[in-house]
Every structure is written in C-alpha cells, then in structure tokens.
C-alpha cells in the first residue's frame, strides 16, 4: 500500500494510572480532533495506541496525550515508536488485551466529582438522590476491580446490565460517561 509522504504512524505505550480514569475516551476524542486513524486499548501493562495520519497532527496528538491527560490520570512513562501506517479507516477503542505482564497501576476510588454531585442534587435530573452516581472522573475503582486490564467485565459490576439510557451515555464519545467502567 502506498502512503502519502506526510502520513506517519506511531505506536504509543503509556504506563501509570491510565485505566479507570477516562484515558481511552480521551485518546479517542483527541484522535478525532487531530483527524487520526487507528486504535487504543487497555492492556495489562497500561494503554496501547496505534495512530496514523498527518505527521504534524500526529506529533500534536502525542504531545497532548502527555501534556493534557484526563484529570485523574498519572502518566509514569510514554514510549513512542514509529511504525508503518496500516491504512486504518477510522479510530476505535478496541477490546482490552491482557497479554502483557501485569504492571498497570490501578486508580484508587475517587470521590464524587462536581458534575456528578450536581446531578445527584438536581430534582429534575434522573440521577437525583442516587448515591452511586459516577463517571470517568469519579467513583469506585480499586474496590471493584477483580483483575486487569480495567474493564467492566473485570469488575464486580460485570453482572449488572446497564439500562438503555446509561448504555447510550457509555457509547457516546462526547459524553463524560463514554466507556466509564463502574
């Protein structure tokens, strides 16, 4: 496959507290902002990204990953390697991979954020008075995880089916509950 001269590819491995903090949704939104193609996934070692696109956009994307992470993320290392672009057609969040050594750091439980507090206290909100409200910025993490990588299927929440409205929020890339695992 012949690629344009200004098209490049990166494989990016990020380690630290990068699971259960909205990192994959953050990567997804940044990739779309910079018009990149590829994928992101949780691994048992952290977060793995393959992205391709315009080299200037790719470099800005990589810089923003480190300089502007989600609020609860703590990046311990970021390894960037050049790869051949594969001709991806879109950017996706892939199913997690637990083939790596289990070295990922798990986030502690996080106190309810201001946005969730507003919802719980608003009598017109569907979450009014609901004590277990959470999003990618708050809620249980450490106390509900059973194994890594951190995905809903690896938590004590796995047996609970989301209602259709919660599922829509979970699937919406523009929502703060996009891929929220608790």
153 by DSSP, 3-state: which? helix
User: Is residue 70 a contact partner of residue 137, using CB atoms and an 8 Å limit?
Assistant: yes
For the chain, report the end-to-end CA distance as a whole number of angstroms: 41
Three-state SS for 78-132 is EEEEEECCCCCCCEEECCCECCCCCCCCCCCCECCCHHHHHHHHCCCCCCCCCCC
1 pLDDT higher than 50:
no
Predicted confidence (pLDDT) per residue in 120-145, tens digit: 999 999 999 999 999 989 999 999 99
Can you give the pLDDT at residue 104? 84
Q: What letters, b where the CB count within 10 A reaches 16 and e where it falls short, cover 115-147?
A: ebeebbeeeeeebeeeeebbbbbbbbbeebbee
Does the reported pTM lie above 0.85?
no
* Domains of the chain, first to last: 7-93 (3.30.70.100)
> Percent of the chain having pLDDT more than 90?
76
Predicted confidence (pLDDT) per residue in 78-132, tens digit: 999 999 999 999 999 998 887 767 888 888 999 999 999 999 999 999 999 999 9
Q: Give CA–CA dist 40/153, Å, rounded.
A: 18
């Amino acid at each position: 496959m012949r690629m344009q001269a200004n098209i490049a590819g990166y494989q990016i491995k990020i380690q630290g507290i990068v699971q259960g903090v909205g990192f994959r949704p953050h990567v997804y939104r940044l990739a779309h902002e910079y018009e990149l193609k590829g994928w992101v996934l949780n691994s048992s070692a952290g977060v793995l990204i393959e992205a391709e696109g315009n080299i200037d956009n790719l470099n800005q994307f990589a810089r923003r990953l480190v300089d502007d992470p989600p609020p609860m993320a703590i990046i311990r290392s970021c390894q960037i390697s050049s790869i051949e672009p594969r001709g991806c057609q879109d950017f996706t969040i892939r199913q997690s991979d637990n083939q790596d050594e289990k070295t990922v750091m798990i986030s502690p439980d996080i106190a309810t954020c201001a946005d969730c507090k507003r919802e719980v206290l608003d009598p017109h909100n569907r979450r009014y008075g609901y004590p277990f409200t959470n999003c990618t910025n708050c809620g249980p993490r450490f106390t509900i995880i059973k194994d890594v990588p951190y995905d809903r299927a690896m938590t004590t929440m796995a047996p609970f089916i989301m209602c259709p409205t919660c599922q829509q929020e979970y699937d919406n890339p523009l929502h703060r509950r996009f891929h929220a695992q608790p």
